[in-house]
Each structure stands twice: as C-alpha cells, then as structure tokens.
Amino acid sequence: MNLSLVFDDVTYAYPSSPGVAIDGLGFSVHSGWTGVVGPNGAGKTTVLRLATGLLLPTAGSVRLSGTSIYCEQRTDDPPHRWRDFLESPDPEGWEIRGRIGIEDDWIERWPTLSHGERKRVQIAVALWQSPALLAVDEPTNHLDHTAARMLVDALERHRGIGLLVSHDRELLDRLCARCLFLGEHQPVLRPGGYTQGREQAEREQEATVREHSLARKERRRLEQEASKRRDLASRADRLRSKRGIAKKDHDAKAKIDHARVTGKDATAGRLLNQMQGRVAQARQREDSIDVTKNRELGIWMPGGVSPRDLIVHVAAGEIGVGRGSALPSDSAPASSPETASVPEAASCSKSEH
C-alpha cells in the first residue's frame, strides 16, 4: 500500500493565542520514520496533532491515506483498546508484549504502573493496531536504558509512516530516515537522522554566509564606483555652464562647446544612472540573502548547595505574562491569554546525584 502524509500550506493558531503556532507549512512523507525537531515552542507537538487529525488547520490542508494514532507524551490515562490488546490471544499481540516486556498482570495494575511501564503499554497498543501513521511524542523520556532499547526495537518494526518528536539525538539518528527541521526561517525536510541533517544545515549556513559576504563586497564596490561616476557627472554639469568664465577665456568656452557637440556631458550622466541602477540591484541581492544569527541566550545565576531539603515553596495563584500575550505549550494553549495558573502548591527539592 502506498502510504503518504501531505501538509499543504498549513497554518494553525490556537484560539487563545495572538500569534500562529504553524505558518504555511508544506511537506510530504511516505513510509518510514520522520523526526520532527526544533527548539521548544517551534510547533513540534502541534505538527503531530495536526497530522493525526486531533487539530484542524486554520488554513491549508492535511491529507493522509489511512488511519492514525497519536501517542502523547503524558501517560495519565490508559490508551484506547488497551484491555483488548492485553487480553488478545493473537500471535502478533503476544509477540509485541514479549518484545516490549509487558507483564500479564499489568491489566489490573494501571494506577500503580510507573510512567515507563505505561509508556510501553501505550506504544505497544499503538503498534498492535498497525496504523498508517504513528505519531510519537518523546517516547523515551524518563525510561531507563533497557526499557528505552526495547521500545526503540519495537518502533523500528513499524511499517507505516512514523512521526517522532524527541530530544534524544541517538534515537533520531537510529530511527529516522529524514528529519523536518522547524524553527528556521523556512521549515526544511532533510534526509537522514538528526546529526546528518544538522551537519547539512551547518554547511548550508556557511555557504549562505559566504554568499552574503560576497554580495556585500560587490555592493560596496559598486557604491564606490557610483561615487566616482557622480563626481564625473558633477564635473560634466559644471562644464555645461559658461557662467563664471571670463569673457576672454576662449579656451574654457571651447571645451564646453566641444563637450556639448560630442555628447560627453550627457554620457557622464547616463553612466551614473546605469551605475545607480546596478547599486540598487546589488542592495536588493544582499537583502535577499537571509543569514541566521546565532545568539547565546540564557540567564546566568550563581549556584551553590543548599543545606536544606526544601529549597522553595510556591503558593497557589496566577502569574501574569504580559498584556494580551500567551504562553501556550506545544500541546495545549494557556487557559488565559494574560495569566498562567500555578497548582495549589509547588515545591522544589534537592535531588541526589
């Protein structure tokens, strides 16, 4: 079966957010895993939810040939049909349960299962249903090495279309045939895993910087030439006028007459106009080359070891985030465009390393 997922000029804006989360995104993929990578807030989870039909585009269209399942990052609730899967007698279900290490009594112990165990059930149920599109959000977060390896081994056996959001570069390199890079001026689909795609992006950036540097040098050279032409045109303009020349200065008057007859004065002006046009084109060319500036962002704070177990206790309430602005997560918008909720109480304790 020829499977395909197509995003056609897709734009999406969360209702409570003043901006857009996805703007004019277009790409198409077929069978195999595609990594969706980019900085936080670039819209990675939004892409997965659009691909699986959980969100509808504000503009544009998403086309998928077949069914889809979205495995979200959270595991609070059991996945749809999880009991059917755990009770299924078919060989494929048994094979998946054995491969991912799911125990028989988990069907009765969902509330007591760890996040890693729940994640394994979530992925196993999705693989058992063999969807055309399987979208997985951070599958190996908080999993130990053994559990993560079992999960990746199982994901490799998926024969449909796969979309993967992960900060695990080794996972992206091992699983993905291509990566969709978000957060750049234009989203780019590059072949290979994260490392190969990142190296290609760096080469493209280096080439763009060189091209921009050459364009800037050419623009400056033409500006200097235009300045010389301007001086020549100014001298030609002075030659056209006989004012200020002594009545008996016949040589000066003869030079002016010669310039008028031969058209040298007009030639200087025409050459200046041509050069100014070339300067304008050079400036336009330089401006059209988009160079990404890498900025080191962050907040530096002095650190130390606290002698207490409890470092800070935050009371319940709301935090203003500015006038008319929102801080939605990738997966869901903030409840209000001007506030962000804080749980009843939040504590930050030291962790042992």
Cα 32 from chain centroid? 21
Provide φ and ψ at 62, rounded to 5°: -120, 125
H/E stretch holding 136: strand 133-137
Q: Strand 5-12 relative to strand 59-64: parallel, antiparallel, unpaired?
A: antiparallel
In one-letter notation, the amino acid at residue 74 is: R
Q: Is pLDDT above 80 for 53?
A: yes
- Look at the block and give the residue holding tokens 């750049």: 184
Say which range, 55-69, 149-163, 292-306, 339-353, has the weakest mean pLDDT.
339-353
Q: Residues with Cβ < 8 Å from 209, sequence gap 6 or more?
A: 291
Q: Which of 80, 154, 75 is nearest to 117 (CA)?
A: 75
Extract the runs of DSSP E, i.e. beta strands, from 138-187: 161-165, 178-181
CA–CA distance, 307 with 106 (Å, rounded to integer)? 40
CA–CA distance, 26 with 298 (Å, rounded to integer)? 32
pLDDT of residue 261: 47
> What value does the mean pLDDT of the chain take?
79
Q: Is the dihedral of CA 269, 271, 277, 282 positive or negative?
A: negative
CA–CA distance, 321 with 315 (Å, rounded to integer)? 17
pLDDT of residue 317: 75
Mind listing the pLDDT tens digit for each residue in 267-306? 666 777 777 787 788 787 777 767 666 554 455 666 666 6
Radius of gyration of the chain (CA): 32
Extract the runs of DSSP E, i.e. beta strands, from 138-216: 161-165, 178-181, 188-191
| Cβ burial, residue 50 (10 Å; 0-12/13-18/19+) | buried
Q: Is pLDDT above 60 for 320?
A: yes
Q: Is the dihedral of CA 254, 258, 261, 267 positive or negative?
A: negative
pLDDT of residue 255: 57
pLDDT of residue 329: 44
Q: What predicted TM-score, i.e. pTM, was given to this entire model?
A: 0.65
Using pLDDT thresholds of 50, 70 and 90, give the confidence band for residue 344: very low
DSSP 339: E
Expressed in angstroms, the distance from the first to the final Cα of the chain is 50
